[in-house]
Structure 1
Amino acid sequence: MSQDSTRPYVDFEIDLTLEETRRRAAVMAALEPDWDPPGVMRAEEEAYDLLYSGLDSRQQEIYDMLVAAGVLPPREPGHAA
C-alpha cells in the first residue's frame, strides 16, 4: 500500500482469490453425492411447461406480450404453452 500526500484517499487492494476458493469448496461440499444437474434442469423445464400450459386466450396474449418485451425468455418450438 502506498500513500501519496497529494491525494485525499489511500489506495486499498484486497485479493479475494482465497475467499472465492473457500466459497466454491463449501458449495461443492454442501452438494449431495447423488446431485444430478441434468435432472435438475429437466425438472425446471417440466415445471416451466406446466406453469404456462392451459392458458386461456387472454392469458396467452399476456404471456406473448411478456415474451416480446423480454420479461420472459422465448421458448423453443414445442415448448410454448
Structure 2
Amino acid sequence: MSQDGTGPHVDFEIDLTLEETRRRAAVMAALEPGWDPMAAMRAEEAAYDLLYSGLDERQRETYDMLVATGVLPRRKSGRAAD
C-alpha cells in the first residue's frame, strides 16, 4: 500500500551520472578543434551589451526594475547599456 493507503507504492530511482557523462562527451565531440571558449564568452558579452544599448526611457525603467529584483545582472558601467 502507498503512504496514503490508496494503492501500491513503488520506489523508483535512476542514476543520471552515466547519462550526464555521455551528454558531456557528446558536447565535447561536437565542438570544432579551433573552438575558443574565451572568444565565445567575449562575443556573448558583446551581444548582451548590444541587446541592452539604446533603450528608451520605458525600456530603461523595465531594465532597472529587472536588475533591482535580481532577474538580470547589472551591466558594468562603461558598457553599451549605459
TM-score between both structures, scaled by the size of structure 1: 0.70
Task: Give the corresponding residue for 2:42.
Answer: 42
Q: Distance in 2 between matches of 1:28 and 1:67?
A: 34
Q: Distance in 2 between matches of 1:60 and 1:21?
A: 42
Task: Give the corresponding residue for 1:30.
Answer: 30
User: Structure 2: 5+ residue runs without aligned partners?
Assistant: 3-7
Residue 13 of structure 1 and its aligned partner are, at CA, apart by 3.7
Residue 39 of structure 1 and its aligned partner are, at CA, apart by 0.8
Q: 1:41 to 1:9 in 2, by over 3 A?
A: same
Q: Does 1:18 align with 2:18?
A: yes
Give the secondary-structure state (helix, strand or coil) at the position aligned to 2:66.
helix
Task: Give the corresponding residue for 2:56.
Answer: 56
Residue 37 of structure 1 and its aligned partner are, at CA, apart by 1.0
Aligned residues: 76
Q: 1:44 to 1:9 in 2, by over 3 A?
A: same
Q: Deviations over 1:10-46 (max 9, x none)?
A: 4444333322222211111111111111111111111
Q: Percent sequence identity over matched residues? A: 78
User: Structure 1: 5+ residue runs without aligned partners?
Assistant: 1-5
